[in-house]
Amino acid sequence: MARSTVVFASGQLLTDAVWSPQIAALSLDYDLQVADHTQDDNIADMAARLLAAAPSRFHLVAHAMGGFTAFEVMRHAPERVISLVLIATLAPNDGPAQTVRRQGYIRLVEAGNFPGVVEERIPMLVDPDRRGDEALLDVIRKMAADTGPDTFLGQQRAIMSREDSRPSLEAIDVPTLLIRGDHDGITTQEHQDEILAAVPESRLKVIADCGHLPMLEAPHEVNRILRAWLG
């Protein structure tokens, strides 16, 4: 029997390493791909690149910025997605406050302070109790360093210019799973409720004592959830 394919779509400042625990857990049973989100500075092109590399049908597992890409995929090629998993993401586009913050990041990076931007963002990414976990923080710092300032700038511009996905949520007609850490410093429960109310076949799993990176903060729980979902 042919194996199903799972395509992972990552958030900003993250590399394939963010999915390492899931790749190790799922590779025996599924063909796995990680979408390339390093070449483009807009979400539409990221989605087109994902679709060009993916097979005709696939499960889509998306995190944060990858969720924005996933919404774009669902607008343009919904027939290719078997099921959708949205981890720590949200549907609205940026408001004025978020735009001002991102413009500040861009100015800092263009001035040569990419490391400072990374260090400012790290506390938002993990559960408060894990902010002293140097092994975890080192993984995040290495992913950021491997991403680099130029790619980060492109990702910021893509996020800033993204479409508001709320009007298209009701058209998502594949089974959809939301996963969120209860201490996520970027997405809120209200963001999840908005998606749950609009997407007909959606459900939510909340992971306790976890921040914005459940794939690394709670890998065994995420792997358990994904195995059950994909199966």
**Residue 31 neighbours by CB under 8 Å, 6+ apart:** 3, 4, 5, 6, 55
Q: What is the pTM of this model?
A: 0.96
- Asked if 230 contacts 25 with a C-beta cutoff of 8 angstroms, the reply is no
Other Cβ atoms closer than 10 A to 90: 22
Q: Check residue 1 and give its pLDDT.
A: 64
Picking from 34, 30, 31, 78, the residue whose alpha carbon sits closest to that of residue 176 is: 78
pLDDT in tens, 67-94: 999 999 999 999 999 999 999 999 999 8
Q: How many angstroms separate the Cα of 24 from the Cα of each of 44, 66, 125, 140?
A: 30, 20, 22, 18
**Residue 97 neighbours by CB under 8 Å, 6+ apart:** none
CATH homologous superfamily for the domain 5-94+159-230: Alpha/Beta hydrolase fold, catalytic domain (3.40.50.1820)
- Asked if 85 contacts 40 with a C-beta cutoff of 8 angstroms, the reply is no
Picking from 87, 65, 91, 119, the residue whose alpha carbon sits closest to that of residue 218 is: 87
- Asked if 154 contacts 144 with a C-beta cutoff of 8 angstroms, the reply is no
Asked if the model's pLDDT at residue 149 lies above 90, the reply is: yes
Say what percent of the chain tops pLDDT 90.
93
User: Which residues is 81 bridged to in the sheet?
Assistant: 58
What is the number of residues in the chain? 231
More confident residue, 94 or 10: 10
**Position 175, amino acid:** P
Tokens 């199903």, residue?
Answer: 4
pLDDT in tens, 16-73: 999 999 999 999 999 999 999 999 999 999 999 999 999 999 999 999 999 999 999 9
pLDDT in tens, 185-211: 999 999 999 999 999 999 999 999 999
pLDDT in tens, 108-128: 999 999 999 999 999 999 999
Say what percent of the chain tops pLDDT 70.
100
pLDDT bucket at 106, cuts 50 / 70 / 90: very high
Q: Check residue 97 and give its pLDDT.
A: 86
pLDDT bucket at 101, cuts 50 / 70 / 90: confident
Other Cβ atoms closer than 10 A to 161: 14
Asked if the model's pLDDT at residue 2 lies above 80, the reply is: no
**Mean pLDDT in residue range 128-147:** 96
Helix (H) or strand (E) holding 29: none
**What secondary structure letter does DSSP report for 56?**
S
Q: Check residue 95 and give its pLDDT.
A: 87
What is the dihedral sign for C-alpha 205, 211, 212, 214? negative
Q: Where are the domains of the chain?
A: 5-94+159-230
Cα–Cα dist 131/138, whole Å: 11
